[in-house]
Amino acid sequence: MKKMVITGGKELSGRIKINGAKNSIVALLPAAILSDDESTIYNIPDITDVEVLTKILILLNCQITKTSDYIKIDNKKIENIAIPEDLSNRLRASYYFMGSLLTKFKHVEIYYPGGCNFGARQIDYHLKAFEALGAKIRTENNKFIIEAEELIGTKINLDFPSVGATINVMLASVKAKGKTIINNAACEPEILNIATFLNSMGAKIKGAGTKTIEIIGVKKLSNGLVGVIPDRIEAGTYIIAGALVGKNLEICNIIPQHLTSLLTILDKLGVKYILDKDKIIVNKSVNLNPINLKTEVYPGFPTDLAQPISVLLSKANGISSITETIYNKRMGHVKYLNEMGANIKVEDNKEIIKGPIDFHGTLVEASDLRAGATLFLAALLAKEQTTIINVEFILRGYEKIVKKLSEVGANISVVEIK
Ligand code: EPU
């Protein structure tokens, strides 16, 4: 068990380089087993989710070569081995092995995925889509057994543009017989990143990044090669840090188009920044306007930044609100942010945030990944020391956070709890 200790009140100045996107790499690694030969993925983020997925690949007898720059996954000796619960429940994205192992071996044995708890996070769209493609599913003591004699392309109409289901359908249909169409597909940039990787192996996927994706099944998939896109949520988190305590804080290796909805909100708030081709310079901004925002699927405001931006809204002059529309329960940060001085009330799925307030340091607990990010942002403002426990959540998504924030002037450490 580890804890993060931050003494805030310091200006952050210098450059933070954004790593590869967590929500891309966690799908690219399971997708990599689809190559009949080997695959190489560049710009790998150094986060704990990657460690867990690599363990699963090793369990499947993939040969892994990892450097600081890339990972090579050689599938020549891959075997179909049931993925045990203590690995599948470490993260949500273990469910991508359902789609990729189904294509590879027509038989998958895996337990329910884990991940942050925001209320019921069902996987019914995934399972329905596998069935539509010809799979039969049964459960045995919490274990899913998914098998298919043959996968046959079909039309899949998603009830909601789920990121995970869209990717899983691509993984399960890439070698299916004939054509698969996904209607109401998720449009998040990570979807295109996965499709680009599969197409580099010889898959025939068109329309990724739009609401309709067409997949023509192929017989073989050769060597794959892809670079992970920059993490728009990590970027967004540090941009918010810049608006709180930045002095010409530069966030580089970003794709500005992926951040449009955040930048629109920052404009409304009155945050000062200079945007360049692949970087942004952000300054501490005062006299912020209160605003009302709502989370939406891409290209709308991302749910993954709703918790972090509540720190910035707590500094605005008046009452702001955030309506969470993607998850039932993603308010784990509110209790602790209020203990740090925020004035936030929750009404159903809406945060009502009264500002401006000053944050003070105390002992708080990360209830999930982005709740943890929210707390470290508030801690950067508090002059006293803040201790965040359950810091393992934060390490799932923020690469080298101590190094990155220390290098721009923060007083931060992560230490083992004895
Ligand atoms: N949903 C269902 N049934 C399904 C699938 C989804 O009801 O079969 C519901 C979910 O319960 C949720 C909504 O649909 O209410 C959206 O879920 P989605 O499937 O889009 O989310 P996900 O694939 O499970 C990914 C990211 C999340 C991010 C969401 C939305 C990964 C591993 N996770 O989750 O990332 O919040 O998309 O953009 O890619 C994070 O990074 O902090 C994080 C939680």
Write down all domains in the chain, each with its CATH number in brackets: 2-19+230-416 (3.65.10.10), 22-227 (3.65.10.10)
Tell me the C-alpha distance between 409 and 242, whole Å. 12
Q: Determine the atom of ligand 1 nearest the C-alpha atom of 326.
A: 15
Cα separations in angstroms, 106 against 27, 80, 121, 260: 19, 10, 25, 40
For ligand 1, atom 1, which residue shows the shortest CA distance? 122
pLDDT of 324 reads 96
pLDDT of 366 reads 96
pLDDT of 142 reads 83
Q: Determine the atom of ligand 1 nearest the C-alpha atom of 370.
A: 42
- The list of the chain residues with pLDDT below 50 reads none
Each residue's pLDDT tens digit, 274-317: 999 999 999 999 999 999 999 999 999 999 999 999 999 999 99
pLDDT of 329 reads 85
Measured in Å, residue 308 CA sits from the centre of ligand 1 at 17
pLDDT of 69 reads 85
User: Whole-prediction pTM value?
Assistant: 0.97
Ligand 1 pocket (Cβ < 6 Å) reads 22-23, 26, 92-93, 116, 121-126, 160, 162-165, 186, 188, 233, 303-304, 326-327, 369-370, 397
State how beta strands 224-227 and 272-275 pair. Answer: unpaired
| Strands of the sheet with 344-347, listed across from one edge | 292-294, 318-323, 350-355, 344-347
Residues classed as catalytic? 116
Letter for the amino acid at 266? L
State how beta strands 350-355 and 2-7 pair. Answer: unpaired
* SS3 category, 378: helix
Strand-pairing partners, residue 71, are: 41, 66
pLDDT of 14 reads 98
Q: Determine the atom of ligand 1 nearest the C-alpha atom of 22.
A: 41
User: 310 near 359, Cβ under 8 Å?
Assistant: no
pLDDT of 92 reads 87
Measured in Å, residue 162 CA sits from the centre of ligand 1 at 6
pLDDT of 35 reads 97
Reference 127, options 141, 105, 140, 112; nearest CA is 112
Hey, how many other C-beta atoms are within 10 angstroms of the C-beta on 415?
12
The Cα angle at residue 129 between residues 180 and 21, in degrees rounded to 5: 85
